[in-house]
Amino acid sequence: AQKVTQAQTEISVVEKEDVTLDCVYETRDTTYYLFWYKQPPSGELVFLIRRNSFDEQNEISGRYSWNFQKSTSSFNFTITASQVVDSAVYFCALKGNFNKFYFGSGTKLNVKP
C-alpha cells in the first residue's frame, strides 16, 4: 500500500521566518520517487522537486531545501526566509511501481507580511 501523510494541516508564519513542511510516506516498493508540488490559489499544481529512493542527498534550490531520510520515511521541505508569495498549499506525493501519484492531504502555508 502507498500512503503519504502530511500531519500539518495549516501553518502561519511571518515573512522572513524559516518554515519546514513535514512529509512521511509508506511504501513496500524498493524503487520509488517522492515529489513536492505547490498549489497556489489559481489551482494548478506546480512541480517543485523529485527525489528517487536511492538518492538520499539533501538538495537546495535557492530558498528551498529538501531533507530525504529513508530511515524515517520522511521527505521534509524547508523554506528559508519565507515570502508572501510562498503562500500556497504544498503537497508531498509518492510514485511507486505503478505510474500514478499518491498525494498527501496538503499543508496550507500562510506567510504574513
Partner 1 sequence: GAGVSQSPRYKVAKRGQDVALRCDPISGHVSLFWYQQALGQGPEFLTYFQNEAQLDKSGLPSDRFFAERPEGSVSTLKIQRTQQEDSAVYLCASSLFTSSVGTEAFFGQGTRLTVV
Closer residue to partner 1 (CB): 53 or 67: 53
Closer residue to partner 1 (CB): 64 or 103: 103
Q: How many CB atoms lie within 10 A of CB 51?
A: 18
How many angstroms separate the CA atoms of 24 and 76, rounded? 8
Which x/- pattern over 27-46 shows residues binding partner 1 (rule: CB under 8 A)?
A: ----xxx-x-x----xxxxx
Closer residue to partner 1 (CB): 30 or 71: 30
Grid cell listed for 4: 503519504
Nearest to 13 by CA among 88, 93, 91: 88
Closer residue to partner 1 (CB): 6 or 82: 6
CB 41 within 8 A of CB 88: yes
Kindly state whether residue 72 participates in binding partner 1, applying the rule CB under 8 A: no
Kindly state whether residue 23 participates in binding partner 1, applying the rule CB under 8 A: no
* Interface residue with partner 1, options 18, 69, 105, 112 (CB under 8 A): 105
Rounded to the nearest angstrom, the gap between the alpha carbon of residue 4 and the centroid of all alpha carbons in its chain is: 10
Q: Residue 97: CB partners within 8 Å, gap ≥ 6? A: 29, 31, 32
Contacts to partner 1 by CB under 8 A? 4, 6, 31-33, 35, 37, 42-47, 50, 52, 91, 93, 95-106
